[in-house]
Copies of this chain bind each other. A is one copy, B any other.
Amino acid sequence: MKTMEGEKKISSAIVRRLPRYYRLLQRMREQGRERISSGEMAQMLNLNASQVRQDFNNFGGFGQQGYGYPVETLYKEVRRILGLDREHRVVIAGAGNIGRALSGYPGFAQQQFRILALFDVNPSLVGTKLPNGIPILHIDDMADYIRDNAVDVGVLAARRSVAQSIADTMVEAGVEAIWNFVPMDIRVSVPIENVHLAESLFVLSYRMQEQEKKIQK
């Protein structure tokens, strides 16, 4: 097995597939499976087997011809590659619907993303706690909080008009990545992942309409 230094440059298409492998391996592991073939993984993920094999070759292999992959080893390796083997410390800017839903999102805690606090300006929210105990603090205190608590991930769930400036504050205060739920392009010097719900909904709407046109023909 190659070491970190031996890994090839990974394409963004593979990076997008990695979470799906991880999810599948997690499930196989829970079910007590010891080995899994590239063909089976491919079938379950709607990929083709040679692509699966090629993807894992990029990380230095693991498989043995005809025996499939060892689930536990592969799971741990994918987890390490994804950086999920260590805790992340998270704050959320915006305690509206999205911010609050995210703070109750079980996927966070399961994957060692620990939400420490939400930040907002709404006086009826600031100073209160969510049912799960997470405090809502004033946005003006966010930068200090990030520094004092070694926060490494900032979640943007604030209004569009303030989102860029909150992102700038987060990065200045030391976050290493931003998870953005605000429907706009935020420019920062750290990695950023966008979840644009409206855009996903628009694509769905488009595809419904295309489907209807097909049926009408």
A191 and B208 in contact (CB under 8 A), knowing A101-B100, A105-B98, A203-B19?
A: yes
User: Which partner residue on chain B sits nearest A189 by CB separation?
Assistant: B211
How many copies of the chain does the oligomer comprise? 2
A153: which of B176, B184, B204 is its contact (CB, 8 Å)? B204
Assess whether A128 is interfacial by the CB under 8 Å rule: no
B interface footprint on A74-107 (CB within 8 Å = 1, 0 otherwise): 0000000111100010000000011011101101
* CB atoms of A105 and B205 under 8 A apart: no
**How far is it, in angstroms, between the C-alpha of A108 and the C-alpha of B200 when the chains are bound?**
11
**How far is it, in angstroms, between the C-alpha of A202 and the C-alpha of B211 when the chains are bound?**
32
Give the residue among A15, A102, A207 with the most B Cβ atoms within 10 A. A207
Assess whether A171 is interfacial by the CB under 8 Å rule: no
**How far is it, in angstroms, between the C-alpha of A195 and the C-alpha of B105 when the chains are bound?**
14
* CB atoms of B191 and A204 under 8 A apart: yes
* CB atoms of A84 and B202 under 8 A apart: yes
Assess whether A185 is interfacial by the CB under 8 Å rule: yes
Assess whether A111 is interfacial by the CB under 8 Å rule: yes
B interface footprint on A105-121 (CB within 8 Å = 1, 0 otherwise): 10110010100000000
Query: Chain B's nearest CB lies how many Å from the CB of A118?
Result: 14
* CB atoms of A203 and B16 under 8 A apart: yes
* CB atoms of A191 and B211 under 8 A apart: yes
The 6 closest A-B pairs by CB, nearest first: A101-B101, A83-B209, A191-B207, A19-B199, A19-B202, A97-B104
16 A-B contact pairs sorted by A residue (CB < 8 Å): A18-B206, A19-B196, A19-B203, A20-B199, A23-B184, A82-B202, A83-B206, A83-B208, A83-B209, A105-B197, A107-B198, A176-B212, A177-B211, A192-B204, A193-B201, A195-B195
